[in-house]
Amino acid sequence: MHAAAMVDDLPWGRVWGQDEAVALLQAAASDPDRLAHAWLVTGPPGSGRSTLAYAFAAALIAEPGDETAMRQVLAGTHPDLTALRTEGVIISIRDARALVERSSFAPSLGRHRVIVMEDADRMVERTSNVLLKALEEPPERTVWILCAPSDADLLPTIRSRVRVLRLREPGVDDVARLLVQRTGVDEATAEQCARLAQRHIGMAQRLATDAASRERRDAALRAVLGVRGVGDAVEVAGRIVQVATDDAKALTAERDEAERESLLRTLGVAPGAVVPPAVRGQLSALEDDQKRRATRSLRDGIDRVLTDLESLYRDTLMVQFGRGDDLINRELGAEVEALAAAWTPQRTLGVLDRIAATRTNLQGNAAPALALESMLVTVANGSAP
């Protein structure tokens, strides 16, 4: 079957480009002898890890042909599904313990109880240790499904307790065809967005449906190309952080307000009324969760800029080694050619290393503006500051 083919039946119809993985999980869901009690689904961002995990969960929980139950699982509302969608920078021990507790319950309506942990790579070591016993000896009808970019992102003790399923990374042409089907954009725009997103399906779809996102990406890369000294580095770093902050606010503001209104309504507080002292603690806890989500959204936005910058200097290195026919940022071809001529490959590699170090520093809670300033000074000078 062609890699871009799509499975139409529930619950697999939402899974795209992963025919081999779908076939394996279909067999596991229907044959107890093939069903492991803990799985790790790995693949690059945008490859569909979570989509596949929930499809598998639906196949495990619902009886064959029970479309109502399948739709409940896919919507995240079935009582036998427990899912953790990470909205903080890391997965907390409290959240991990809650999953372990739920995993011990027998299924109430379905064939299995399924625990889905998205972004399992965001566990620190002590959080991972909370899961070990539950993954090693889960109840007979409980199945764990973890998702992460790579099995190397998890501790060896976790990897030894799960069956790893590595997803295929789709090609640019595959993603472009999907964009045409889903969004109706023309083929040229679809190809451009798939290429610039480096085959990340979610990001490609956003670029395809939001011209402003494409313009912001282009502006950020051109601004970095124009950095010539410390002053430029400070200015451009500030602009990147501001754009990422604005994007994060746009993505979370509407949801934050809806959550606040829903909580107050549940607690019996009328719209516009003064919040009673008795419920302020719950409102404060919600606001803390929202702040953590906003922090992650900001860091994810900056990480996306770093990914785009990596593609720019990857293109530069490709030209330096005579491979200019395989550029990601073809629209900046002239600028990339000029940079490749002005720099040595060693300098380009040094900048790529610095971008990787900046990503690590940001994961360690470094101040975004300062981390980017330091990186851009390296871009301007060609050596570590």
List 144's β-bridge partners, or say none. 38, 115
CA 278: distance to chain centroid? 37
Contact 10, 114 (CB under 8 A): no
Is the pLDDT higher at 363 or at 233? 233
Task: Work out the percent of the chain whose per-residue pLDDT is above 90.
Answer: 56
At residue 3, the pLDDT reads 39
pLDDT tens digit string along 242-261?
Answer: 888 877 777 677 677 777 78
Per-residue pLDDT tens over the stretch 19-48: 899 999 999 999 999 999 999 999 987 788
Count of other CB atoms within 10 angstroms of residue 172: 19
The domain 12-166: what is its CATH number?
A: 3.40.50.300
DSSP for 288-335 reads HHHHHHHHHHHHHHHHHHHHHHHHHHHHHHHHHTT-TTS-S-GGGHHH
pLDDT at 45: 76
Where is 102: in which H helix or E strand? helix 93-103
Q: CB of 103 within 8 A of CB of 138?
A: yes
The model's confidence at residue 57, banded by pLDDT at 50, 70 and 90, is very high
Q: What pLDDT score was predicted for residue 8?
A: 45
pLDDT by residue (tens digit) across 311-370? 999 999 999 999 888 899 999 999 999 999 999 999 999 999 999 999 989 888 889 999
pTM for the predicted model, two decimal places: 0.69
In the structure, what pLDDT confidence band is assigned to residue 147 with cuts at 50, 70 and 90?
very high
User: How deeply is 31 buried, as exposed, middle or buried, from its count of CB atoms within 10 A (0-12, 13-18, 19+)?
Assistant: exposed
Reference 115, options 37, 51, 186, 188; nearest CA is: 37
**pLDDT tier for residue 294 given thresholds of 50, 70 and 90:** confident
